[in-house]
Amino acid sequence: MRRTCVKTMCLLATGLVFSCGGAGLPGAGGGLGAQCRGGFGATAEARKLSAFVEAATNFATAAEEIQASLLASCKQMGEALGMEESALQGEGTDATRRVCTAVSDRLRADLTRIRGAANVTVDVRVRPPRCEVSVDAYAQCAGSCEVDVEPGSVQVQCEGGELRGGCSAECTGHCAAEVSASCSGTCEGACEGECSARAEDGSCNGRCSGSCSGHCVAEASGRCEGECRGGCSVAFTEPRCTGTVQPPNVSADCRAACDARLDAQATCQPGEATLVINGELDGDLQQTAERATNAVRAGLGTIMTLRRRLDRLQRSGRAVVEAAGDLPDAVGSLGVTAAGCAAATVSGLASAVGSVSVSVEVSVQVSGSASASGG
């Protein structure tokens, strides 16, 4: 960040004042005007700057939306817990940290009291969120960023995850279907019954003896009527990657821009969370348990989903900030407007990265307050 900030300050100090309709990106104090959004030409430098500006704008917008959703979810949980309205007031980054911290502390304290009762068990059952990015959209981004690459010719790979999509021919790997019934394969989600294996977050990831709510995943044999995970004998329909997209023959700057842009646009199947409390509780603790159960149902599933999106944004945000350090050198030949837009973009990006860091911190805090260990 030091290198980026120094170069940005040098741009501004030399009088490269811009007329881009604002002092930063959406979510960072303003919006970029049409001159900064319309492209800067067809050269390699111009295309990379255009890709960077669009990626940073998407990143900042996603950071703002996630922070607002995180704050709203914390407020919903706080209301369900019976917290004072004054403790749940405010907007923006400071309010997000303050409100979510207060809610986390209250939920942790209530669950500690409940767990301390004799012969009482507390279990958090979750259906984890699932996030993915469009492979076709990534290929289009990479092709538009690199001057010598045709968008339709970019072949990408999925690492740290798997390719998923529709398969009109033979599917190899696994076939996953949405269910809310018995499952003869692996149940991914919530199991009403005995589950043979669980994921780190507590969700079922094995055989379910009862009803499975989520994905029922079985070995693929021929055509998959649900979602094919693995390989398809013909081209996937709307392929998505649950890991990291790896495009070949793309520069580090373009890859950073496309990572930030597509991670900001990642789609997530929402998570679900349910608090299950077994045992006899007296009147006061029973009311506390009901409030805690309602709070977890009201907001924890959404916060789990936001946290998954934040993990992606935090990773790609670091890479795009590194790429931003080279912008002033790269845009010197593109004119005053381009240089000013680069400076505005870097400034807004720094604010958005800071917002993401705060959101990651508080989402981890709230999620941890409902953990089985209470810690």
Q: What is the dihedral of CA 249, 255, 258, 263, to 10 degrees?
A: 120
The pLDDT tens digits of the residues spanning 228-277 come to: 998 899 989 999 999 888 877 778 888 888 888 889 989 888 888 888 89
pLDDT in tens, 325-366: 666 555 666 666 777 777 777 777 888 888 999 999 999 999
Say yes or no to pLDDT of 8 above 60: no
For residue 27, the model assigns a pLDDT of 41
Predicted TM-score (pTM) of this structure = 0.75
- Token duo for residue 273: 């969370």
Q: What is the mean pLDDT of residues 119-130?
A: 85
- Provide long-range contacts, Cβ within 8 A and 24+ apart, for 37-41: 40/331, 40/334, 40/338, 40/341, 41/334
What backbone torsions phi and psi does residue 248 show, to the nearest 5 degrees?
-80, 155
**Segments making up each domain of the chain, as ranges:** 2-130+275-369, 162-241
Q: Tell me: the pLDDT tens digits for 151-209?
A: 555 677 888 888 999 998 999 999 998 888 999 899 988 898 999 988 766 788 899 99
Is the predicted pLDDT of residue 147 greater than 60, yes or no?
A: yes
* CB proximity list for 286: less than 8 A, separation 6 or greater: none
38-82 tens-digit pLDDT: 567 667 778 877 888 888 888 889 999 999 999 999 999 999 999
- Give the confidence band of 1 by pLDDT, cuts at 50, 70, 90: very low
Helix (H) or strand (E) holding 182: none
Each residue's pLDDT tens digit, 99-117: 999 999 999 999 999 998 8
